[in-house]
Amino acid sequence: MLRIFNTLGKKLEAFRPVRPRRADVFTCGPSVYQRSHIGNFRTFLFEDILVRYLEYSGIRVKRGMNLTDIEDKAFEEARKRRLSVKDLTEENIKNFIREMRLLRMKIPDYLPRASEAVDQVVQIIQQLLNRKIAYRYRGNIYFDPLKYSRFGELYGLDMSRWPKKKRRFHQDTYPGMRWNLGDFILWHGYKEGELAWDTPIGRGRPSWNIQDACLVLKYYHGTLSIYGGGIDNLFRHHDYTRAIIESVRPYPMARFWLHCYHLMVEGEKMSKSKGNIYYVEDLLKDGYTADQIRFFLIYGHYRKKLNYTRENLESAAEKLRNLRRKMRTIVRKTKRAKVDREMLEGVKGVFKREMDDDLNVEKAFDRVYEFVEGIKLETMKPEAASGLIKGLKQIDEVLRVLF
C-alpha cells in the first residue's frame, strides 16, 4: 500500500482517498507574473509523478491547478515592462503550458485563471463578513486567523507568539521564510491605475491568499484527497487557504497535504539577485533533451532538496542514456514473443516497493536500473525480453522518460 508523508500530522500514513478508487487532487500552480523556472518545475513534476502513480495504482484522479494571474507582483511587473497585466500573464501562461507539454506532464483537468473566479471570491468574502471572521478596514477586507481554531496546524505555528495588539498585513506576499503574525488581506480596495472589479463588496480585486480557496470551492464539492505545493507555501499561504475554506464549509479541506522541497543551484537557493535562475530553455540550449531535463528534476525524493549543477545534470542524463541503450538491445530480442509474466511482475514489483514508500522516485528508478543491468543479454529468452519491455512501458506511464 502507498504510504505518503502527510504535512498535517507530520508523519507517514497509508494513503486512502476520500472516496474509494478516486482521488480529488488540487495543487498550487504558477504565479504567472514571470516565467516558470526549473525550480518551479521541480515541484510541478513531482505533482505530475504523484498523479501518474495514483492512476498507475488504479485510482482515478480529478486534478486541479490554479494560475495566479492577479497579484501585487503582476501589477508591478506589468508596470516595469509597460504591458497590460493581461498581456503579461497570457504570455507566461502560454509558455508554461508549452513547457508542461514539452516535459510530458499531464495537463490538469482544471487549469483556471484566478481572474475567472472573482464572483466566487466575492461570495466567500460575503460569507466570512457575515460570520464576522472577516472585516473591513480602510477600503480593504481582512481575515482574522484567531477566529479559526485550527490556524497554524499545517506549519506547526506556535500561536502563543501571536501579538496581543491587532496587526494587519496588506500585501499579497512578503519576502523571506517567516510568518506575519496578524490578520491577512482577502480583498484589495481599488487603487487608481490598478485592474479592478465592481462587486457587491466594493470595487477592487482578490488577494492572492483567497484565490486557491475560491477555485477549490468552485470545482470540488467535498474534502480533497490531496492538496499540494512547494515547501514555500507552508509559510503564509496554505494555513491561510485552509482557514478560509474550513470557515465556510463544515468539513476538512483535504485529507493529505504534500509539500515538495526546493531545487538548489550550486547549493544555494535560486534568486534574481544571485543571477542563478535557470529555465527549461537554458538547459535545452546546453544540448540536453526534454526527457533528460524531466528525469533530472524527478530523480530524487520530493522531501529532500535537489541540487542543480552541470555535473549532477550530466550524471542523471548519462544514467538515463545507459538504461535506454540496454533497453534498445532488449527490444530487439523480443521477436514478438509471448510475455513472460514472472519477468513482467518482477520489474514492476521492484518499482512499486520503492514508490509505495513515499513516492521515492530515485530509489524506484535505481532498483529498476539494477534489475535491468543484472540481466545477461546473451542468455535472455524472447519471452523474458517481451515481459521486461512490457513492464518497463507500464512503469513509464509514471516516469515518462524511458520510451
Q: Dihedrals φ, ψ of 289, to 5°?
A: -85, 165
Cβ–Cβ under 8 Å, residues 217 and 245: yes
Our measurement of the distance from residue 393's CA atom to the centroid of its chain's CA atoms, rounded to an integer in Å, reads 25
Same domain, 159 and 180: yes
Same domain, 218 and 318: no
Burial of 169 (0-12, 13-18, 19+ CB in 10 A): middle
Same domain, 250 and 277: no
Contacting residues for 15 by C-beta, under 8 A, at least 6 apart: 1, 2, 3, 4, 256
Same domain, 75 and 167: yes
Same domain, 253 and 276: no
Tally of structural domains, the chain: 2
Same domain, 39 and 173: yes
Same domain, 199 and 338: no
Range of the domain at 393: 268-399
Our measurement of the distance from residue 292's CA atom to the centroid of its chain's CA atoms, rounded to an integer in Å, reads 20
Residue-wise pLDDT tens for the chain (403 aa)?
999 999 999 999 999 999 999 999 999 999 999 999 999 999 999 999 999 999 999 999 999 999 999 999 999 999 999 999 999 999 999 999 999 999 999 999 999 999 999 999 999 999 999 999 999 999 999 999 999 999 999 999 999 999 999 999 999 999 888 899 999 999 999 998 888 999 999 999 999 999 999 999 999 999 999 999 999 999 999 999 999 999 999 999 999 999 999 999 999 998 877 889 999 999 999 999 999 999 999 999 999 999 999 999 999 999 999 999 999 999 999 988 999 999 999 999 999 999 999 999 999 999 999 999 999 999 999 999 999 999 999 999 999 999 9
Q: Please give the Cα distance from 117 to 111 (Å, whole number).
A: 12
pTM for this predicted structure: 0.96
CATH number of the domain where residue 370 is located: 1.10.730.10
Residue at a domain's end among 206, 237, 260: 260
Residue at a domain's end among 213, 234, 260: 260
At 74, list the grid cell: 503582476
CATH number of the domain where residue 105 is located: 3.40.50.620
Same domain, 282 and 157: no
Same domain, 234 and 273: no
Same domain, 53 and 128: yes
